[in-house]
Amino acid sequence: MSRQLSDRDAFYEKMYFHELAERDRLDDRFRTLLTIVVIVFAMISYLFNAVVIDDVSNVPLLFWLVYAIAVASFIAAITCYIKAWHSQHYNAFPMLHDIEQYIDQIQTYYREQTDERTAMQWTEQAFSDYMRQSFIDHASFNVRANDNKRFWLYYGNSFIISAFLFTVMAFFPVSHTFFDL
């Protein structure tokens, strides 16, 4: 029986650390995406400067429609990325000092209830139960946080791809501005 509990405890501990590692991978993905956001922003800004500021008189309606979709997609992507970054924080274990205080409180309580040997056994069991439940609670919370971040990153990626494509498409109705033949 204790072997099964030990295996289960090891599994819960592994899952907790897996979710922390997943958080780091998601943060790395997010930082990489910021480069793409800057590139798309530069493209949108260039089109705005080249077409709207330099040549306001002869801008076709198709440009405005496609450009507006690109800008809206870009804003949606930024909103999704902000939600991904600030969506949920992670749960971490209590500080070791707090855990030791908890163990001392349990041990003092059990010493008052029974003999020293039984108090030590009950303390160890209570500590084992506490650690197992901590791994379960914290890993479960962190799974939800990671899933929420993945959700918003996925939609942010979709919107940034759309913004890029619509920005490129907005170039075509006004390409005569850039290439006077």
Please give the model's pTM, rounded to 2 decimal places: 0.73
pLDDT at res. 42:
95
Highest-pLDDT range among 54-58, 61-65, 74-78, 79-83: 74-78
Q: How far is CA 125 from CA 39, 109, 168, in A?
A: 56, 14, 64
Could you give the CA distance from residue 166 to residue 74 in angstroms, rounded to a whole number? Answer: 10
Q: State pLDDT tens for residues 89-144.
A: 777 777 778 888 888 888 888 888 888 888 888 888 888 888 888 888 888 888 88
Asked if pLDDT for residue 3 goes beyond 80, the answer is no
Maximum alpha-carbon separation in the chain? 98
Asked if pLDDT for residue 56 goes beyond 70, the answer is no
Q: 83: how many CB neighbours lie within 10 A of its CB?
A: 17
User: How many percent of the chain have pLDDT more than 90?
Assistant: 24
